[in-house]
Structure 1
């Protein structure tokens, strides 16, 4: 069997708020209660299990490969909500997107301060 990524825990200041933000931004089904987690299933079967953090949340980086249409949705929601976003991970190119590898990409923060990235072409191209 080939190794596959199955799930990860995403610590959140408010697990409900963070999980709902994520499903809204990426147009995904509502999160499902799974023990102490709110699980969000991605297209490849992997889940992001949002957990209420007992203390401070250390920001993490989560990158997602999306279709052109999904990117339009994500960027549209960022714009509608008036969220700051960036063309690169150093938060340069404020309120701009990038066109790396012939695609489009954007970086933005979730309610817990995690760095989210949406790209239409994987690093290095197809």
Structure 2
């Protein structure tokens, strides 16, 4: 059996709102609550289990999603429609832009709890010019 990531817990201010935000951007479904968690499951079966915690217990994390290039424009429009801050770079020095790393498209954006979400259409190091 190969080793696979199955799930991770994502601390949030409001589990339902955070799960709905990410699912809406990615075009995924929000799963039924299971105990203290509200899951969003990606295409490769990894569940992000959103849990409501006290705001002072939230430590910003980074979650990167490899998405189909054909679906990136719609996802990017949903980020903008949600009013989320977005950047071309992880340091936030290029606000309001996307990147063309490895010949694909990429963008970093903040979720409602302050986590750094990233969409990329090509894995890092797969080749192509960076911008």
TM-score normalized by the length of structure 2 = 0.91
Number of corresponding residues: 126
TM-score normalized by the length of structure 1 = 0.94
The equivalent of 2:73 in structure 1 is 72
The answer for unaligned runs of 5 or more in structure 2 is none
Query: 1:29: Cα distance to partner?
Result: 1.1
Runs of 4+ residues over 3 Å off in structure 1: none
Query: 1:69: Cα distance to partner?
Result: 2.5
Paired with 1:30 and 1:10, the residues of 2 have a C-alpha distance of 14
Cα offsets for 1:84-104 (capped at 9, x unmatched): 210010002110000000100
Query: 1:55: Cα distance to partner?
Result: 4.3
The equivalent of 1:38 in structure 2 is 38
Query: 1:31: Cα distance to partner?
Result: 2.6
- Provide the aligned C-alpha RMSD in A: 1.2
The answer on whether the counterparts of 2:12 and 2:55 sit within 8 Å (CA) in structure 1 is: no
Query: 1:30: Cα distance to partner?
Result: 2.2
Paired with 2:60 and 2:93, the residues of 1 have a C-alpha distance of 18
The answer for unaligned runs of 5 or more in structure 1 is none
